[in-house]
Chains A and B, each alone.
Chain A
């Protein structure tokens, strides 16, 4: 297998694991929310979420019908030989995953609304590349559901506004207006920057960081915890039907800003935060480095999975087995 084939196969495996085997951090966070929840309706909703994750783990079924907008965040090492060809390879992985039934065809021409049928098209999949030191290639994949775009927000604040208050006013406004449409408990991403575009980019990048993992900068970490506590006092709850769990986590990323500009952006991820990370070495050797809810003995438990396991066939409830 050529290195290019290995990259496509690894990206394909990232898609196959993300959309079927829930990231371990998300599974644990939903179970914790269910343990704490007091309202009977909210508990019922969280119970359905847990059953969904376990069912998908056991049968290899896609977790959610809206497999979203395919989004790749790529860390490309200096010494990794595949460069500009990456875009084509990732597109190929998305196309194959759609044809194999892992992704629902969601991509449409904005002028005609015609569905391209394979999730590709101008600017799709979304691919962001970061150049990093080292020889390896890391591909982070996320399937971001359509509903989770609705609470997205951007605002330019006066720099004298305290950071935490600027973030809170925007987060509260967008969640109160649109939170229920994004399938809460959501993950909230916040970006602080000196330009609008950079704030939005950072707010989306923030969503890739696992639930519970705090920012390296202690000041930001404290702000994440403060905002999370405030969000969960809003009372929107699972699916917006009231309850304790409105967000599973709040993630912030920041960059230095222009002295006169404080740009704040908010992005959200649905509770079904389907993501996966694969690493490819120049030798072609590839591993899935994220943890996923996967069959362990007779139950499901979060653990590392192999590329082969990521390609487990779909066992449909009718008994039909579909190879992926």
Chain B
């Protein structure tokens, strides 16, 4: 159980070094995406449109933040993970299309995603579900938000984080997974 402090962008080598059971603290940029955003990412890629944010070496966070708009801009009050299995049917394609190196969520994902992690060189980590205020503590700033037409939880939030964690790597690029009963969606 190694402990890593990673900064974005994450290289393929760094992502491939991560093993199930490792702990990560992350500094840099994470981009939130839920069901609808995943689908829109694929629509964009299929139609040749440029994504509003470059995800190469990036981190996709399965999260619908609880954010409020203040006169000084958006403020995130809580930002724990959402259930990753809802994204299982499209995760492999999104990883291929974006070049992201780390997916953060909760509950684990299935065999399609695991295969994609091995192929592209990426890892999946969980942040403790329900630890919303703990996540908010490590968010330094809302850099940007796209696709707000999908609703606040479903939008693409670009967040600057510092020492975001503990993230527990549960699926790695060697095909190891700590998840057994993740169910099907």
Contacts and interface: CB of A to CB of B under 8 A. Distances in A.
A44 B77 contact: no
A176 B72 contact: no
Given A52-B133, A62-B133, A45 B128 contact: yes
A271 interface: yes
A64 B181 contact: no
Given A64-B78, A65-B65, A314-B77, A177 B130 contact: no
B5 interface: no
A200 to B, nearest CB: 20
A179 interface: yes
Interface in A19-38: none
Contacts of B80: 64-66
Contacts of B78: 61-65, 104
Interface residues on A, range: 35 or more
Contacts of A176: 181
Contacts of A59: 133
B128 A49 contact: yes
A187 to B, nearest CB: 13
B132 A115 contact: no
Contacts of A238: 128
Nearest to A273: B130
Interface residues of B, number: 49
B168 A241 contact: yes
Nearest to A180: B107
A66 B131 CA distance: 10
A63 B134 CA distance: 8
A180 B182 contact: yes
Given A241-B168, A317-B136, A177 B183 contact: yes
Interface in A105-155: 105-106, 108, 113-115, 145-147, 150
A293 interface: no
B140 to A, nearest CB: 8
Contacts of A67: 66
A16 B107 CA distance: 28
A115 B70 contact: no
A243 to B, nearest CB: 11
Contacts of B139: 317
Contacts of B106: 147, 181, 183, 239
B151 interface: yes
Contact of A180 (B70, B153, B181, B184): B181
A67 B66 CA distance: 9
A300 to B, nearest CB: 13
Contacts of B130: 49, 52, 63-64, 145, 183, 270-272
A162 interface: no
A318 B75 contact: yes
A197 interface: no
A59 B136 CA distance: 11
B108 A320 contact: no
A147 B185 CA distance: 11
Nearest to B84: A181
B166 interface: yes
Interface of B: 1, 21, 23, 36, 63-66, 68, 70, 72, 75, 77-80, 82-83, 85, 106-108, 126-137, 139, 151-154, 166, 168, 170, 178-184
5 contacts: A52-B131, A66-B82, A150-B183, A180-B182, A271-B130
Given A59-B133, A115-B153, 15 more contacts: A44-B23, A49-B131, A52-B134, A61-B133, A63-B78, A64-B80, A66-B80, A66-B132, A147-B82, A181-B106, A183-B129, A240-B181, A316-B77, A322-B68, A322-B75
